[in-house]
Amino acid sequence: MPATSETKRISDTSCLRLQDRIGYCFQAPALLERALTHPSSTAEDDRDNERMEFLGDAILNLCVGQALYERYPHWNEGELTQVKSAVVSTVSLARAGENLGLRDVGRLGKGLPAHEPLPPSVYANLFEAVCAAVYLDGGLEAARAFVLRILGPEIRAIAENGREPNHKSSLQQLAQKREGVTPHYRMISATGPDHGKIFEIVAVIGNRKFPAGHGRSKKEAEQAAARRALEVLEAEYALAESSQAISISSESGRLSPRYHLPKATNGNGHAAAESEASGT
C-alpha cells in the first residue's frame, strides 16, 4: 500500500529530528533514508544500506585514525591501532547509534521486533551507514566533523585511560573547567518489570538539562546521560572556538557544507534551543 501523506509527513519529521541530533543538515535527505534501511526491511538488494555500511566503515577508520595520528604524535603504530580498534568497535559504534536514536528512525524488518533489544551489530551498521550518508552528501570534511562530534568523547577517554570511557568523570572535569560547576543527575523515569527496568536519566549542569540517557541500571543510564551532555557541550565549545574562522570564511565568500548543532533539550527530550552555524 502506498504511503499516505500523513505517513510521509511523520517520516519527514523524524528525519529532521535525526539531522538535529547528528548535527548535519542533508542537501539530499534520500541518502539518509537509504542509510537507515536495514536489509531485513526490503527484498531488494539495491535498496538497503549494506553498501553504505561498507563505505562508512572505511570513513570511520580514516577519520578516527587521522585524529589519533594528529593528537598523539609520540605514539607508535601499535598504540594507535589499539585505541582506534576500541573506538570503532561494534560496542562503541552501537552505543553511538543507540544514543542517536537510530532504532526509532531505522527501517527494520519483522525479524527485529520493537519489543526486543536491538543487536549491537545492527546499531553499529546503522551508524556506519549514516556516516557514509554524511560523506556522500557533504564530503570528507562534513563526515570528519560528524565522526569527531559523536565519537570525540570516546576517543579522548579511551586514549587517556586505556579502557572504556568514564563519561561521568569526563563531564565533571569539563563542566568544572569550563562552567565552574559540578554536574548532577536526575532520574526522569524507570519503566518495565523489576527484572528488566529501563532507567531514563538526565545530566544537569547549573539550571540546564541535557538529552536523556537510558540504561538497564541507574549507573548505565547516568553514563549515557553524561555522554550525551558531552556531545552537546563539545560541539558548542568547538563552534565558539571556530567562530572567528567562520567569520573570515563568510567574508571571503567561500561556500561550505551546512552544519548546525544538536538542539539542547529538556528532560523529556523536547527541543529547548537551536543553534546553527556554517563551517569550512
User: Active-site residues: which are they?
Assistant: 57, 128
Q: How many CA atoms lie within 13 A of 119 on its CB side?
A: 7
Q: Is 134 exposed, middle or buried (0-12, 13-18, 19+ CB in 10 A)?
A: buried
55's grid cell? 563505505
DSSP string for 161-212: HSSS--HHHHHHHHHHHHTSS--EEEEEEEES-GGG-EEEEEEEETTEE---
Selection from 49, 167, 149 nearest residue 141 by Cα: 149
Angle between helices 140-161 and 120-138 (to 10 degrees): 140
